[in-house]
Amino acid sequence: MNTYKNYYQEAKLNLMQKFIEELQFEDIIHLEYKNGLYGFTGKNFYYQFQAEISQWSQVWVKKGSLHTYQINNLQEEIKDISIHDFICDLNLYFKMSDQDLALFLEEANQTLYSDVEILMKKSHLSTELSFLELEQLSLGHPKILLNKGRIGWGANDLNRYAPESSQPIKLIWLAINKKLLVSGKSDHFDEDLFYKENQLSPIKGYMHLAVHPWQWDRFIKIQYMHLIANGSIKYIGEKGNPYYAQSSLRTLSSFGHKYDLKLSLSILNTSCIRGIPQKYIRSGYKISDKLTEIINNDEYLNSKMQVLKEVCAQYVNDYSFKSLENSSYRFHEMLGMVIRENVNQYIDTDEQVVSSASLLLKRDNSYFKEVLNESGLSISHWLKNYFNNVFIPLYHLQNMHGLGLVSHGQNILIKMKNFIPSGVIIKDFHGDLRIADNSIHLYEKSFMDLEHLAPNHLIHDLFTGHIVTFLRYFSRLCSQEDLISEMEFYALMRSCIQNYENTYEVPKDISFLRSQFEKILINKVRFSSGYDELSRPRPILGRNIINPIVKSELLYENL
């Protein structure tokens, strides 16, 4: 039996199922219901399947139920439609040019390759896994269709650098003439320890900067050779202990080190190219420090929320591309580094920290079920602890301080005591933190670089960033594992929100008890904007969402 073929078929069908679910959610395809089956028509094929309808009015396709037929002969089933034929068939709805469609297919095959590699490494998910080990098991962004595109990497690169490969990465170290650097450094940064951890020695007039080995070989060695030739950049080479990739690819950890590194990585992954922009280099540590001060001085937050601080950042201010303002943003983000605290220094012996995305992990078993069993709590009590100690503090930060973090699965870390949620650790403020234009902190010097949004727009950093992008899938997992129904899940959430709003006044336009929310479309952006690199993609609006938290009102009243 061809084992690889079986894994490929499984990965392909999983991806096709995800396409149908997310395209229906984003109102790109519309389904018909007939004789107990759902279906829709593509350009050449008709698709039919069994499904449930979730509290989000989204279909959940029953695994193994998808069948494909010739559109002109519904009796002729296509037993093995290729991913190429499937995506080209759906271009009836995408309306992409041939060039953009070809790039989309390339990204699809890249994603499938990594999905197959992950399936081939199935393992039992244990609560003894460390934060980094869980990061390396990540399944990728749950909402984005092609979440492991990693355009620029070949098979050897994926096997060496992708988080699921769990391979050690020896970083390249450079010494950069200080005159070339844009930098910012906190008083909390232990520079001597950092140099010691990475076996570096100071060089007068220079500062050290780490480069991902792929970035060095593909871009820096060539595009910055003029600065290497004139001595402005000195090649130090591989130094220190190996690092390991977290789920975001460009954030790396080394066992026992106090600091993690976030490095420029000029590959296209999910929505954009993963470089390091200059904008927050000087202010990143100031944002971290000020945010920590605000949280520590807030009686509600100081026992529930912590900041994984950015302590230093550097960016090489090379003028070769800087004057070309209308070129791809990747040329302006090729060589930078952010140094951030490692999460392990915030964990006591009876505590655990996981990213919220880790709760979605499922292999032969469900990681969350293992966590729940270890906690000794019922599902209702565990979820109440999650809502009150993780979600509501994020809500409070927006409501009382007008500060919104794009709260997706990677930058929201759940702090647990004996596997019971006890708090939240937030991180990643380079572009993912914004401020309301009526915030009491609007004119803080530390926040001058933050993007300003109207409060009812900023709330989407939590609604779309966390509820739609994480809880939509987490509630599904809980339901499919027979732990709690979606309706009960959101009823519990509503009760926690209601208790908070009974204590703290919340304006109607940001309340999570609104009957409807705007639907922010992510995948549709790719179809409309293609692969233009002049700027990062901007989300667009779809039809409003009927808020599932409010749908649960009748059940909540009977709790």
Please tell me what DSSP assigns to residue 518. P
pLDDT at 271: 84
Q: 149 vs 14, 153, 222, 331, 444, CA distance in Å?
A: 16, 9, 24, 20, 39
Q: Please check whether residues 341 and 353 belong to one and the same domain.
A: no
Could you tell me if residue 119 is inside a domain?
no
Q: Can you give the pLDDT at residue 385?
A: 98
Residues 533 and 419 in one domain: yes
Judge if 278 and 360 occupy the same domain: no
Stretches in the chain below the pLDDT threshold 50: 1, 554-559
Which of 43, 74, 95 is the endpoint of a domain? 95
The verdict on residue 141 lying in a domain is no
Contact 473, 409 (CB under 8 A): no
CB contact at 8 A, 195 and 208:
yes
pLDDT of 559: 39
pLDDT at 552: 66
The total number of structural domains in the chain stands at 3
Any domain includes 115 = no
Contact 84, 105 (CB under 8 A): yes
pLDDT digits (tens, 9 = 90+) for 241-274: 999 999 999 999 999 999 999 999 999 998 899 9
Q: Domain boundary residue among 299, 323, 345?
A: 345
- Same domain? For 352 and 456 the reply is yes
pLDDT at 557: 42
Domain boundary pick from 328, 345, 362:
345
Residues in Cβ contact with 226 at an 8 Å cutoff, skipping those fewer than 6 apart: 320
DSSP-derived secondary structure for 444-470:
-GGGTTSEEE-HHHHTHHHIIIIIIII
> Is there a domain that residue 100 lies in?
no
Answer yes or no: do 546 and 525 share one domain.
yes
DSSP H or E run through 473: helix 472-480
Q: Please give the structure tokens belonging to residue 197.
A: 């951890």
Asked if the structure places residue 545 within a domain, the reply is: yes
The pair phi, psi for residue 418, each rounded to 5°, is 55, 40
The whole domain housing 397 covers 347-557
Is 139 among the domain residues? no
Distance CA 386, CA 391 (A): 7
- Are 341 and 351 members of one domain? no
- Domain holding 59: CATH number? 3.30.310.280
Which pair of structure tokens corresponds to residue 442? Answer: 């609007």
- Say yes or no: 298 and 362 in one domain: no
Residue 129 lies in a domain: no
Q: Residues with Cβ < 8 Å from 394, sequence gap 6 or more? A: 305, 405, 407, 412, 424, 426, 462, 466
> Domain holding 485: CATH number?
1.10.510.40
Say what the pTM is.
Answer: 0.95
**Do 462 and 497 belong together in one domain?**
yes
Encode 183-211: b = buried (16+ Cβ within 10 Å), e = exposed. bbebeebeeeebeebbebeeeeebbbbbb
Please, what is the angle between helix 3-25 and helix 98-120, to 10°? 130
Determine, yes or no, domain membership for 306: yes
Strands 206-211 and 516-517: unpaired
pLDDT (0 to 100) of residue 91: 98
Examine the domain organization and report whether 302 and 356 are in the same domain. Answer: no
* Same-domain pairing of 319 and 357: no
Q: Do 402 and 315 belong together in one domain?
A: no
Same domain, 413 and 479: yes
Amino acid at 392: I
Q: Which two tokens stand for residue 465?
A: 């960033």
CA dist 389 and 305 (Å) reads 8
